[in-house]
Structure 1
Amino acid sequence: MSKTGAFDMASGVGGNIHKTQVLSLYEKYHAFYGGEEEERKTNYTDMVNKYYDLVTSFYEYGWGESFHFAARWKGESLRESIKRNEHFLALQLGLKPGQKVLDVGCGIGGPLREIARFSSTSVTGINNNEYQITRGKELNGIAGVEKTCVFVKADFMKMPFPDNTFDAAYAIAATCHAADIYGCYKEIYRVLKPGQCFAAYEWCMTDAFDPNNAEHQKIKAEIEIGDGLLRSTRQCLEALKQAGFELIWEKDLASDCPVPWYLPFDKNHLSLSSFRLTPLGRFFTRNLVKALEFLGFAPKGSLRVQEFLEKAAEGLVEGGRKEIFTPVYFFLARKLLPDSQ
């Protein structure tokens, strides 16, 4: 973790957003605050940018450089499981040294750097958020991968790349921000070379989710304020096939792991290795941010950001316990060769 202090986290939060505008600029779009899903879809670019301006420093402080969950085995730390899941994805894609790889919705580039070093490939990360790209470039320089890992500021629904550009593509907990998942997969299909593969870890509602269950809907709304628009695993698969991909295999990797993916957020769990994510750690962070904001070291509204991330954490734990939500729905798909279409 490169930003180790709560002071760095709180003082860096928010990009260019004035924190008194948190409610009007982000929360208004979400169901938890009375927002409509269609409005979120219409304004998804604006919403996603404002969301990541607000929370990037909080994520890096608590989670590290890779903003995603991971299927976890006994004896693994959270960080080890995240790295293993990134290596697993690279192996599933069959990456080879020198290939050009696309990271769709790359955040600040944690997976990008890890996968590039693990596979000796060149990875291009696409991201529409200037604040994250600036931070990602800084971290690339620190890691010494600035020649093989690059960022492109663009909307992943309209990528500025020619057809058939990349040898492989992946997305990790990113395409839940797409207003149209079919359109997103279709664009990835376009820039991928024929015969090559696309892999993803998707945030999804499982088959156990009941849209007529008020408690399930509440949990879904709480999760969505922390991460985008949630779809079912079936909706993702259908969109993938409609986009032209051949499905190789798919699985909810959370379904048979002995360590729950949501364990770091569980109020009954105490961990020294991921202390900042535990209830006690979040209590400490919340009060420190409150003090820093009161003293003027942190921008106004930083505590509000911390509060809605905690609300999302509650939804994640409940969604995981009830098995109605997964953040590690994995699939591997191939773009067909022209004579196979």
Structure 2
Amino acid sequence: MTAPETGDGRVGSRIQNYTTYWQNDGEQDDKTGTENRVENYTDVVNGYYDGATDLYEFGWSRSFHFCRFYKGEGFTAALARHEHYLSAQMKLKPGMRVLDVGCGVGGPALQIARFADVTIVGLNNNDFQIGRARRYTQKAELQDKVTFVKGDFMKLVEKFGENSFDAVYAIEATVHAPSWEGVYGEIKNVLKPGGIFGMYEWCMTDEWDPSIPSHQELARRIELGNGIPEMRALSKARAALLAVGFEIEHEEDLAERQDEIPWYYPLEGDIFKAQTTWDYITVWRMSWSGKVVTHYGLWLVEKLGLVPKGTWQVGETLKIAGDAVVEGGKTKLFTPMYLAICRKPGRV
């Protein structure tokens, strides 16, 4: 294993090598690009987040996910409501021990811990993000409610043991797994009998047809720009949940709600669509002028050695991601919010 090269958990070589996992896509090799990414998912995902975490926090927030919007609703308020909504759908109650699978820098964990008065363990395989999450939790004085551990979500039983949690949630995280059956099976096994699992999953919708070149290319751009080994159809997520033995109590693609404000609007970069005064800054960062500033600003700070080498290149993939996600939203070929509330069979 390569040692950290930055002192804060980021590995420079992982960041620099990130885009190489997509360079040979389409070539007729013994092992396709997708197979290579799936096999090396840990390096793919960590290389991406080593380079992208600072950019996410700068351009988005500490909650690395999408959400629905109501007319006039502020950006950060909508993100928090999305987290609270999942908690409410799961019926989280005070005293529960809850696992956050793929916790990022801890934004949702802090919100849900406050909202539901539960104890949360955040799991992350990225040292840099864990360090950030612990600092933010200490600042929020929630160390007694929220803790973070390093671990692979494909090895949850090895990490925690069976029947360890009352509830588990994953917010736009398990799309990074090499297989849904694998990660969902691990989640089911660490749940107590009768325990609840709630998730927002990234999927290509069932309107997506991988045999259509433009559809396949859209999925590839989403993968490249978001550190995802392989995009899969929503029907496969549902099938995987059932295959590992979950009982689905509720499921819905929230992107199908007839909202006046689309979930992807911040990425369109149209400042006239900003919902509040404070949101102008967030939306501007996604505009053409905001991207130009970020492009040259990030190039400069990398040249000055203020961020690891390769960060600029990962930042360039984020532009690809933004455009692809908006296209996927408008064409209804992609959703970041397939909601599923599932229960492990057995007595509660």
Correspondence for 1:173: 172
The CA deviation at 1:276 is: 2.2
Cα separation, partners in 2 of 1:217 and 1:192, compared to 1, 3 Å: same
Deviations 1:23-58 (A, max 9, x none): xx2112237866611111111112111111111111
- Cα deviation, 1:277-317, whole Å, max 9, x if unaligned, reads 33332222222222333444444333212211111111111
Q: Deviations over 1:110-168 (max 9, x none)?
A: 10110001111100011111111011101111111111101111101102112111111
Moved more, 209-218 or 62-71: 209-218
Correspondent of 2:56 among 56, 59, 67:
59
Specify the SS of the correspondent of 1:254: helix
In the alignment, which residue of structure 2 is the partner of 1:3? none
Matched-pair contact (CA < 8 Å) for 1:198–1:332: yes
| 1:313 aligned onto 2:315 | no
Kept in 2, the 8 Å contact 1:264–1:277? The answer is: yes
2:254 maps to what in 1? Answer: 253
- Mapped pair 1:152 → 2:161: no
Q: In structure 1, how many angstroms separate the alpha carbons of the residues matched to 2:52 and 2:73? A: 27
CA distance in 1, matches of 2:154, 2:13: 28
Per mean C-alpha deviation after superposition, the further-off stretch among 45-54 and 104-113 is: 45-54
Q: Aligned partners of 2:117, 2:24: CA distance in 1, in Å?
A: 43
Identity of aligned residues (%): 43
**What's 1:302 paired with?**
311
> Which residue of structure 2 aligns with residue 4 of structure 1?
none
Aligned partner (choices 247, 265, 268) of residue 266 of structure 1: 268
Q: Could you tell me which amino acid in structure 2 is paired with residue 103 of structure 1?
A: D
Following superposition, the deviation at residue 226 of structure 1 comes to: 2.5
What TM-score, normalized to structure 1?
0.90
Conserved? CA contact 1:248–1:332, under 8 Å: yes
Secondary structure in 2 aligned to 1:26? helix
Between the aligned partners of 1:161 and 1:146, the Cα distance in structure 2 is 19
Q: Which moved more, 1:189-198 or 1:224-233?
A: 224-233
Structure 1 distance, partners of 2:240, 2:47, is 27
Tell me which residue corresponds to 2:138: 141
Counterpart of 2:12 in structure 1 is: 17
Gap regions ≥5 residues in structure 2: 1-5, 27-31, 275-279
Cα 1:203–1:31, aligned 2, differ >3 Å: closer, same or farther? farther
Gap runs ≥5 in structure 1: 1-10
Mean CA deviation greater in 205-214 or 26-35 = 26-35
For the aligned residue pairs, the C-alpha RMSD in angstroms reads 2.1
Partner of 1:290: 299
Q: Contact 1:101–1:121 (CA<8 Å) still a contact in 2? A: yes
One-letter amino acid of the structure 2 residue matched with residue 328 of structure 1: M
Q: Is the 8 A contact 2:195 2:344 kept in 1?
A: yes
Aligned 8 A contact 1:293 1:302 in 2: yes
Q: Of 92, 95, 99, which residue of structure 1 is paired with 2:96? A: 99
Structure 1 equivalent of residue 186 of structure 2:
187
Shift of 1:13: 9.9
